[in-house]
């Protein structure tokens, strides 16, 4: 019963934070009620898979001051997917943790002997490790592993989403710097900053409006003397909240796009947002012979986001029975994406207009032309500039 309430409070604290360091500090007190520690850190693998970045509370060490190679990490076996857990009574004499070239100086300096480490997984893949350390030797045992794993399962999807948002922001800022240097697009840089802030706010609103509301309801149901059935029901509801967090990730990070390609990502989004009572079919056609895969990440993700928003608009407002997504090359060999539906296009208010403006902004950020035709249903056309793809799409 006490564990369930701690997990609920951890989830509540997470829902109010929008960066990793603040989120870890916010939940550190509740985590310590479950597993004691002198040092707690979250180690996340960078996109290249070669480096990792650490975020820590309890003690300030060199682990969080700079990135380090996965191969040199004391928890490299977890980060490389060789094991999901590591446990030691004395890390200072354990060759898994201290070995030639290892980044183990913080353990030696602060005398961190007892350690328990568990994998943080997202979409079935190891994204990092959750690490507990104590100066007292031989403190942790096998009973601590499921507790640590439960905490990792709660933290992993949320921290993965925050990390992806931070990475996207850094990449976008770098792209903006290059654009400003090359083209003097001061106004473009401002629009990019605004778009990133809106995206950040959208993630926060999704978490607050959906997950936090459910967790608040669960917290109200917590009371002394719950029966086993009632406790089991609450645990199930907490798991539902974890799934909701994973769905937020799927809308904020197009992982399916990276893993399975553009068509599968579009189809997956369509099936996710289509209501059970909606009788609408999706037809997808790509005649570019792999042209989408040859585009840069920036262009491909932006086009996917535009398709997402167009699909959302069609399902929410158009009342259409058919939705077509087509990709081809224009006469001058430019990639062209069209999203058409056979529904109605009226003044649906602020929601639809906001969606259209969001698509226009996405197109502008990659230098693409954006056009909408509402003479018969609605047809959205996005045409990439030649400079974005002429060397990759033939």
Mean pLDDT in residue range 15-28: 85
Determine what percent of the chain falls in helix, strand and coil, rounding each to the nearest 5: 55, 20, 30
The predicted-structure confidence for 355-372, as pLDDT tens digits, reads as follows 788 788 888 888 899 999
Between 362 and 204, name the one with better pLDDT. Answer: 362
**Average pLDDT in the 263-286 region?**
86
- pLDDT of residue 188 exceeding 80, the answer is no
The mean predicted confidence, pLDDT, of the chain is 82
According to the model, what pLDDT value does residue 2 have? 47
Q: How many degrees, rounded to 5, is the angle at CA 132 between CA 22 and CA 71? A: 95
Strands (E), the chain: 39-45, 51-57, 68-69, 85-88, 114-122, 125-134, 281-286, 322-329, 335-341, 369-373, 378-383
Residue matched to tokens 């353990």? 107
Q: Three-state SS string across 297-351, please?
A: HHHHHHHHHHHHHHHHHHHHHHCCCEEEEEEEECCCCCEEEEEEECCCCCCCCHH
Comparison of pLDDT for 159 and 253, the residue scoring more: 159
Domains and CATH numbers, the chain: 254-388 (3.30.565.10)
Answer whether 159's CB lies under 8 Å from 31's CB: no
Whether the CB-CB separation of 366 and 302 falls below 8 Å is answered with yes
């Amino acid at each position: 019963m006490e564990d369930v309430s701690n997990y609920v409070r951890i989830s509540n604290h997470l829902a109010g934070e929008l960066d990793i360091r603040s989120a870890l500090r916010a939940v550190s007190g509740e985590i310590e009620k479950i597993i004691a520690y002198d040092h707690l850190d979250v180690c996340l693998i960078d996109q290249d898979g070669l480096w990792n970045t650490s975020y820590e509370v309890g003690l300030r060490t060199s682990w969080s001051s700079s990135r380090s190679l996965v191969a040199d990490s004391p928890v490299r076996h977890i980060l490389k997917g060789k094991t999901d857990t590591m446990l030691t009574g004395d890390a200072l004499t354990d060759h898994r943790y201290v070995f030639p070239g290892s980044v183990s100086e913080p353990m030696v300096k602060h005398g961190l002997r007892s350690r328990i480490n568990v994998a943080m997984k997202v979409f079935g893949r190891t994204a990092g490790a959750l690490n507990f350390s104590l100066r007292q030797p031989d403190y942790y045992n096998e009973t601590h592993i499921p507790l640590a794993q439960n905490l990792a399962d709660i933290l992993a999807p949320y921290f993965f989403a925050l990390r992806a948002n931070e990475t996207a922001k850094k990449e976008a800022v770098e792209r903006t710097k290059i654009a400003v240097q090359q083209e003097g697009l001061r106004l473009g840089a401002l629009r990019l900053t605004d778009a990133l802030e809106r995206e950040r706010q959208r993630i926060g609103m999704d978490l607050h409006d959906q997950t936090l509301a459910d967790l608040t309801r669960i917290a109200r149901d917590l009371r002394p003397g719950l029966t086993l059935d009632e406790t089991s029901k609450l645990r199930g509801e907490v798991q539902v909240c974890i799934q909701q967090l994973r769905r937020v990730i799927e809308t904020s990070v197009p992982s399916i796009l990276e893993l399975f390609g553009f068509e599968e990502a579009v189809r997956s989004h369509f099936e996710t947002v289509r209501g059970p009572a909606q009788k609408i079919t999706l037809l997808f056609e790509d005649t570019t012979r792999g042209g989408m895969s040859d585009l840069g990440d920036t262009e491909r993700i932006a086009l996917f986001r535009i398709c997402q928003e167009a699909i959302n608009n069609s399902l929410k407002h158009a009342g259409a029975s058919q939705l077509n997504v087509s990709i081809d090359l224009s006469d001058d060999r430019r990639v062209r994406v069209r999203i058409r539906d056979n529904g109605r296009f009226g003044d649906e208010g602020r929601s639809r207009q906001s969606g259209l403006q969001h698509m226009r902004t996405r197109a502008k950020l990659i230098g693409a032309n954006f056009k909408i035709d509402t003479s018969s249903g609605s047809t959205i056309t996005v045409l990439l500039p030649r400079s974005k793809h002429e060397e990759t799409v033939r």
